Amino acid sequence: MEDNPGNFAPSFGKETLRTTAVTQQFEQNMDYVDFIHLNVLEKKVLNNSEVSVQYLCSKPCIINLEAVASSEFRTGVPVYRRRWKDEKNLYVSRTRQVHLKFPSIMVYRDDYIIRNSIIVHSVILYAWISHKSVSSYDVEQNEDYQDAVAKNYTFLEAVPPFERPYKDHKVCLQWGADYLWMLQANRIPQCPHESDGVQILNFIYASSGEKTGIMKKFEQFENRELETVRQHQIDYPMFTVSIWLYLLHHCEKDLCGILYFIDPKEMYSTPAVFLNEEGYVHIQMHLMRGDDLAVKTSFSLPLKQWFRLDLSFKGGQIEVSTVGKNLKRHHHQSFTFREDFYYDDTAGYFVLGGSGYVNGIEAFFGPVKYYRLNVLETEQISNPLHDKETVEQIELYYERCMDIQEIVYEYRYIVRQGEKALRNCYYENYYLELIYKYGEKSKCDAFMWGKELREKYRTLFKLLQEMDFSAPDVLEDGSDTVVEVGRRIFEKVAKGLSSADGLSNMGSSVPLLVDSSCCGYHKASYFLAVIFETGLSVSVDHTKGLLYSLVGAQGNERLAVMNLGYKHYQGINNYPLDLELSYAYYSNIAIKTSLDQHTIKGEQAFVETIRLMDDELLKAQTKENGDVFMWLKHEATRGNAAAQQRLAQMLFWGQQGVAKNPEAAIEWYAKGAIETEDPVLIYDYAIVLFKGQGVKKNTKLALELMKKAAAKGLPQAVNGLGWYYHNFKRDYRKAAEHWLIAEKLGNPDASYNLGVLYLDGIYPGVPGRNQTVAARYFYKAAQGGHIEGTLRCSLYYITGNMEDFPRDPEKAVIWAKHIAEKNGYLGHVIRKALNAYLELSWHEALLHYILAAETGIEVSQSNLAHICEERPDLARKYLATDCVWRYYNFSVSQVNAPSFAYLKMGDFYYYGYQNQSKDLELSVRMYAQAALEGDSQGFFNLALVIEEGNSIPSYILDHLEIDQALHSSNTSLLQELYYRCWNNSNQESISPCSLALLYFYMRVFWNNILQSTLIYFMGTFLLSILVAFAVQYFQALSAHNSPGSRSEPSSDEHSSSGNSNEDATRLVQQDESTFSNNLSQQQSDPQNPLVTG
């Protein structure tokens, strides 16, 4: 780079050869070259800043000083000018002290007079010499700095507005003005407290090596000064990243993601940090000129120990270090690029782990700290390894598991070698061969392991002795054998736990589950996580619960992954609320759900919303020998298309209690397609023929069937033809034509497929990719329930990289969770729980509903709470947590919570539940939410709350959209609530709401009668007449009788009238008493919701 003053362009934060030192010592030059130097005592923008100007003129000259400032809104604004002439002191170095004076709004804080001080980004002080006629000094000059004989410049540091002093204006304000200023002084907006240090992750994340990870997006700084620095560093990045890792394996293939940045064009940007197959760190950077460069460390990352990877970036330089738990440096390496990097951390998003572009590492991520604007040494980084107990538990777990896996592998090897030798002997003796073939399998009683190890793993050795390693399902690969051993251990334990007294033997089951988990069978890991988190026949241990949740999730156990996703989504059980972390887990299972649905093998069942309170749905559940199934089979055999269709669906997906049997389902699809000409059956059979699911592929017959179904107007068949032309013929024009027709018919698959055409840039007649249009089609597909479309939209919401999808992590989690909860493996657990409940196998139902409920699926949570209500003895005996409270509470926190759960929680808060205190406001909120769901009981309970003398907060009434004019009158409110109660109930029959509304109107009518002035006057008048008549009667009677006689008056008529009035009054009182007694009975029993009948 040449020193070319003519091309001056100062660059903020860079060292450049164009920069002239301001403190060089003057050396006598015999050629008398003009020069000018600046020396600023304090390089800050202050009033009266002193500058020492040292210069030499070889001719009469004019010396110029000019300060130019830049703010957020304007650049290059001159804020100070000074010049003087020198025609006498030629060839002599001179020094002159100058006091700089700046505008008040640049150097003072706001006050009553200075109302709008400005934030200055940079100030440059220029100095130059020009040889001009001194006579022209008084003329206004616009000297060009670039044409000067000698010149120099220096930067002055701007002072933030709230670090500046107040100006002494040397004026006295009037009392009123001074008082107004004092009132407003503290209202000056201050820069928000903001740091460039960001904690990207502060909780352990289990990365399974899949194409999912944590996605973080950073916004511009609110603090304008920090934002200015960030923008200046785009072409000269200065940042630091610190990542704690516990690495299990190096990358299996190519590169695996650790941390990388994706730009708005969905391309890798600065930085991109990966792990390769040898364990070396691969770092890729995006250069200012547009291309990319990568480097690789000379050291590899350690396995199965916690370490911290620190990376700092400064301009074109990278520093990479690893430190251990004791913070001592293990490795360090520097890289220097000749070109600067491009880095804008707001234009895109960060990814920790995997994404759609690369697999993640198989590891546990610890805390991750990111310093956006600073380059820090290892010692300066503040990123402690939190939760040391869990960190140590992970280390101990894998140390123990290494021993177990080694024992299993070696034991299997010894047994196989022994059996091989025995077989060689048996082949020479037919009798021995028969014994080997049909007799009891031999056991290995001699061990090569020491006594101490055998004692430590006594249960494991006992199980190994009982296993048959000659079985065909035990493969030659040792790792598969270890997992197979884990599976066998787990199945033995699971069978025992499902028995009548199985949960009572949890103490002996837990060690076996630990061994199974260590063998890599992570269904056992999830069992352990649930057992310790809920206290299922053991003491609650949140640390162990977290350990096995993380281990199971890292091992890709679907239910364990969902469990972590749910806990981080809700922020419960000591798990921090972290939507990005929750999305990382849920998106993993959501992707698998789509793949699992196309896989026939595996323990899967269709996820059905069947509530244990719904008797009709429970009666519809069946099995292969059940009445419903046998009736459907009978009708299907007779050629009933609807029965064939339903039967095939039940068998193919494993619905309604029927075990999944794709082969049998396909037989019914084929029979229906050929016999009944039903378009749905024809379409379904065509699909399985196209894909070869459970039947040999037959594309020709499949196409004929698909065309036949499409000719009958079936939308999904029209879409299927488009799919055929796209996948088999690569005819995108025909594919698009069919998809457009199907899309107009409302088929969500067609909407998704059209989106794919636009995304891949192959839509006929449209050049290039169009992600915006593609995203709109994906959204339409998602609205129709399309799984892949929903996944695409959830990704858009988490990244915020699509213009029609503003970043919304919560919506992204909700959409991904919705798809994940359709997973067939979760459906299998729910089905086992339901079957156990129908068979009155309470222990097994409890176990499997707990396993399903802890994944966060609402239907299992409310069903489990219902079981605990039905069998409180069971819940108290086996669960350390309050089952009813916990799972109804979980249920109402869900997006799709049922209204009865809100009513339950409303009752609990209203009356107080066991050790839970009463909370009237929360109770009313629960009732209101049930009312909003259209439940008449919610309105009824709100009315009873008012009847009992309580008030409902106005914001809840507003939420119910009740007119504010009614808020102040209890009578008006009651009328509105009872009317809505009646309106939302069955109006064709007498309901509690209709009776309550009728009774309300009767009470109002009676009160109006009693309070009427006319009735009061008439009653008084009649009473006066009656009294007068009575007086006259008694006077006449006394005159008629002798004084000594005693006569009892006959007042039957009056008495009868009085009794009838009394009876009428008693009827009213009895009604009111019944109403009150019902309430009092309900208060004494919080288990029951507020009901009227």
pLDDT digits (tens, 9 = 90+) for 275-289: 999 999 999 998 887
Query: For residue 540, is pLDDT > 80?
Result: yes
Q: How far apart are the first and last CA of the chain?
A: 91
The residue with greater pLDDT, 720 or 18, is 720
Query: For residue 578, is pLDDT > 90?
Result: yes
Q: Look-up: residue for tokens 């793949």?
A: 595
Beta strands 94-100 and 150-156, pairing class: unpaired
Confidence (pLDDT) at 300: 95
Q: Is the peptide bond before 271 cis (omega within 30 degrees of 0)?
A: yes
Query: For residue 933, is pLDDT > 70?
Result: yes
Sign of CA dihedral 760, 765, 767, 771: negative
What distance in Å separates the CA atoms of residue 149 and residue 138, rounded to the nearest whole number?
A: 20
Confidence (pLDDT) at 135: 57
Query: Tens digits of per-residue pLDDT, 53-67?
Result: 999 998 889 999 999
As given in the structure block, the two tokens for residue 532 are 């310790």
> Minimum mean pLDDT among 469-478, 724-733, 899-908: which range?
469-478
What is the band of 10 on the pLDDT scale with cuts at 50, 70, 90?
A: very low
As given in the structure block, the two tokens for residue 735 are 């594919």
The residue with greater pLDDT, 1092 or 661, is 661
Beta strands 268-275 and 362-371, pairing class: unpaired
What is the band of 930 on the pLDDT scale with cuts at 50, 70, 90?
A: very high
What is the band of 937 on the pLDDT scale with cuts at 50, 70, 90?
A: very high
Average pLDDT over residues 962-967: 87
Query: Tens digits of per-residue pLDDT, 678-707?
Result: 888 888 888 888 887 777 888 898 899 899
> Minimum mean pLDDT among 555-559, 771-775, 972-976, 1059-1063: which range?
1059-1063
Average pLDDT over residues 790-814: 94
Average pLDDT over residues 1026-1039: 60
Backbone angles phi, psi at 119, to 5 degrees: -90, 120
Q: What is the mean pLDDT of the chain?
A: 82
Query: For residue 748, is pLDDT > 70?
Result: yes
Query: For residue 123, is pLDDT > 70?
Result: yes
Confidence (pLDDT) at 408: 85
**Closest alpha carbon to 801 in 355, 402, 316, 403:** 355
Transcribe 898-929 into DSSP letters: -HHHHHHHHHHHHH-BTTBPP-HHHHHHHHHH
> Where does residue 12 rank: exposed (0-12), middle (13-18), buried (19+ CB within 10 A)?
middle
Confidence (pLDDT) at 1064: 32
What is the band of 137 on the pLDDT scale with cuts at 50, 70, 90?
A: low
Query: Tens digits of per-residue pLDDT, 637-677?
Result: 777 777 777 777 777 767 777 777 777 777 777 777 777 77
The residue with greater pLDDT, 866 or 658, is 866
All residues at 6 or more sequence positions from 1065 whose CB lies less than 8 Å from its CB, including other chains:
none
Query: For residue 106, is pLDDT > 60?
Result: yes
The residue with greater pLDDT, 784 or 985, is 784
Query: For residue 1093, is pLDDT > 60?
Result: no
**Closest alpha carbon to 559 in 578, 598, 541, 533:** 533
What is the band of 501 on the pLDDT scale with cuts at 50, 70, 90?
A: confident
Confidence (pLDDT) at 600: 67
Backbone angles phi, psi at 358, to 5 degrees: -160, 150
Query: For residue 709, is pLDDT > 50?
Result: yes
What is the band of 179 on the pLDDT scale with cuts at 50, 70, 90?
A: low
The residue with greater pLDDT, 195 or 558, is 558
Query: Tens digits of per-residue pLDDT, 31-43?
Result: 578 999 999 888 8
Average pLDDT over residues 380-394: 92
Determine if the pTM surpasses 0.85: no
Confidence (pLDDT) at 831: 92
Angle at the Cα of 789 from the Cα atoms of 788 and 794, rounded to 5 degrees: 95
Query: For residue 721, is pLDDT > 80?
Result: yes
As given in the structure block, the two tokens for residue 976 are 């509105």
